[in-house]
Amino acid sequence: MHHTVVISDIHLCEVEPGTGPWMRHRQRAFLPDGELAGMLGALLDAVRGQRMTLTLNGDVFDFDAPRVIDGRSACHDLPRDADHGVPAIAAILDDHPIVLEALGRVLDEGHEIVIVSGNHDVLLTLPEVRAHLTARLCDAACALVARDRSPSARAAIARRIHFRAWMHVTPDRVLVEHGHLYDPYCSYRYPMAPFDDGGREIVATMGSMGTRLLVSRLGYFNPHDDSSVMMTKLGYFLHWTRYYLFSRRWLALIWALGAARILGRLWRARRPFCRARYRGNVIACARETGERVAAVMRHARLFEPPAESRLLRVVRELWVDHVFVILVGAALGALFIGVVGLPLGLLGVIVPFLLFVLYDRLAPKPPLAETWLRVGRVMRSVAQIHDARAVVFGHTHTPEGSWEGDVFIGNSGSWSAATSGPDGTPCIGEHPFVWLTSDDHGALTGGLYAWKRGAIVPRVVRAPQAEAPPRSEVVLYCETPEIRSDDARAV
């Protein structure tokens, strides 16, 4: 039997040294490290004597999060190159020894690890960053017990570590991909080599810059928890009143400088489509995955064009258009006051608000949920193109799973830290992952699981059948008895 386990969107970054509500989601007390190590330990017990591939499906590491310099978190927009990527991955691994040891244990027991690049850890496409991560994983595997630490032994461990810039396809036709290439704010035209014209630095997407220049600087938000970031207009006002009104952090200045830098850099980054790079990207992926070139080319046509090719969409996403409408309304209101005079002219004060409401009604900004739905819809097309038996994405942070005929369509959700508000406590809840098993007869079973209170809990799972049924049986979001971490029947 062969087991494919997929987890994603852990967003490991350097630990915030403070203890207050500022960047609470990055503080050690709120990290998922212990839960992740417990889940991996339970999986190793369950699959002992069998083969397992652990796939880290993107955004496991977060290179866009603030760095910690001289004991303080420092927001940045450092170049996305090897000179800055290697120190960043080294610092992240230093701050998460529990996770590093757990991954080392997976390798120590003879299993494989596949690391797929996402939008926040796209620096994993750099050879230098890959080499450092491989060395640290080998060190972790060798350090567990008195193992053979010879160069040949380390080389054997390193051969079980695989990197994928775009997607991974298992021998039993399970396709794993992060999913950011269908999000215009995080997409790359050439994900196998997402570099600028010089070939040294990775192109900055709107999503990456938005995290570095805007969201990370609003430390009372958790950028990886939509419930923390996506509020109503009243919710944003109350949040600002509580956390920023009487502080020295000027939201307007953060927004204005960040939006200007993002739009300016996207404008300068615009490049015409390059057919030669596109073909090279497809061929490189076909070589890396073993997939047919024709299938990879059809797959690449599903990509969303990057945001720099649609700057108006970025303007709307950053609310630049709304602010412009308010300023125009303020100018018209001032003109009205000057022409009509007082006291009737005071009605001009409400002109900006009326114009804002009218514009918002006539041209509402598309909600973020539309992007997530688009990412989800692509999975069915990908399954058809590659004749896949399962397609697993991440990126949206929303765990999903369904058996559609004999094909599993799923999303591995998120393990990133969540809190009940900036002043709240850790929201442990449950952590999702996808676990698929192919037996010696080729039957694929399993599905979406969750790690909850020290147990593996099935969520959307197709169980093994003694005899193949006429049609696949599906269990949708059922609550089944929990499987304790020390129970080998977890399979």
**Rounded Cα gap, residues 384 and 391, in angstroms:** 10
DSSP state letters, 120-160:
SSGGGGSHHHHHHHHHHHHHHHHHTTT---SHHHHHHHHTT
Q: Identify the pLDDT of residue 234.
A: 78
% residues pLDDT > 90 (the chain) = 56
**8-state DSSP, 461:** E
Cis ω for the linkage preceding 17 (within 30 of 0): no
How confident is the model over 45-68, as pLDDT tens digits?
Answer: 999 989 999 999 999 999 999 999
Provide the residue ranges of all domains of the chain, joining segments of one domain with +.
2-311+368-490, 320-362
How confident is the model over 194-245, as pLDDT tens digits?
Answer: 998 777 899 999 999 999 998 888 877 777 776 666 677 777 778 778 777 7
% residues pLDDT > 70 (the chain) = 90
Q: CA dist 452 to 89, 236, 429, Å?
A: 29, 32, 7
Q: Identify the pLDDT of residue 86.
A: 96
Q: Identify the pLDDT of residue 453.
A: 86
**8-state DSSP, 80:** S
**Rounded Cα gap, residues 463 and 436, in angstroms:** 10
**Rounded Cα gap, residues 251 and 240, in angstroms:** 8
How confident is the model over 64-109, as pLDDT tens digits?
Answer: 999 999 888 888 999 999 999 999 999 999 999 999 999 999 999 9
**Rounded Cα gap, residues 34 and 38, in angstroms:** 6
**Rounded Cα gap, residues 130 and 114, in angstroms:** 12
**Rounded Cα gap, residues 476 and 401, in angstroms:** 8
DSSP state letters, 338-359:
HHH-TTGGGGGGGHHHHHHHHH
- pLDDT bracket for residue 342 (50, 70, 90): confident
**Rounded Cα gap, residues 352 and 333, in angstroms:** 7
How confident is the model over 247-276, as pLDDT tens digits?
Answer: 777 888 888 999 999 999 999 888 888 999
- For residue 367, pLDDT beyond 90: no
210: left (phi over 0), alpha (psi -120 to 50) or beta: alpha
* Mean pLDDT (whole number) for 418-436: 73
pTM for this predicted structure: 0.87
What mean pLDDT is reported for the chain? 86
Q: Tell me the β-bridge partners of 68.
A: 73
